[in-house]
Amino acid sequence: MQNITSMAALLMTVLSLSACMSSIKPDTKPLDFYDFGLQDADNRISFTLPLEKLDATDAIQHSNIRYRLHYKHPSQVFAYAESRWSTLPVDLLRQKVANAQPLNTTCGLKIQIVTFDQVFDDASSSQGVVQLQAELTDRRSRKLLASTLISARHAAQSADARGGVAALNIASTEALQQAADWARETSQAAPACQTATP
Lowest mean pLDDT among 8-22, 52-66, 97-111: 8-22
Question: CA angle, corner 135, sides to 131 and 139, nearest 5?
Answer: 150
- Using the predicted structure, report yes or no on whether residue 76 has a pLDDT greater than 80: yes
* pLDDT given at position 144: 95
Mind listing the pLDDT tens digit for each residue in 102-123?
777 889 999 999 999 999 999 9
23 falls in which pLDDT band (50, 70, 90)?
very low
- How much is the pTM? 0.83
- Of residues 37 and 196, more confidently modeled: 37
Torsion sign (Cα): 158, 164, 167, 171: positive
| pLDDT, mean of residues 56-67 | 96
| pLDDT, mean of residues 42-51 | 91
* pLDDT given at position 66: 98
| For the chain, percent of residues with pLDDT exceeding 90 | 71
Are 60 and 80 in contact, with CB atoms under 8 Å apart?
no
* pLDDT given at position 198: 55
Superfamily of domain 32-189: ABC-type transport auxiliary lipoprotein component (3.40.50.10610)
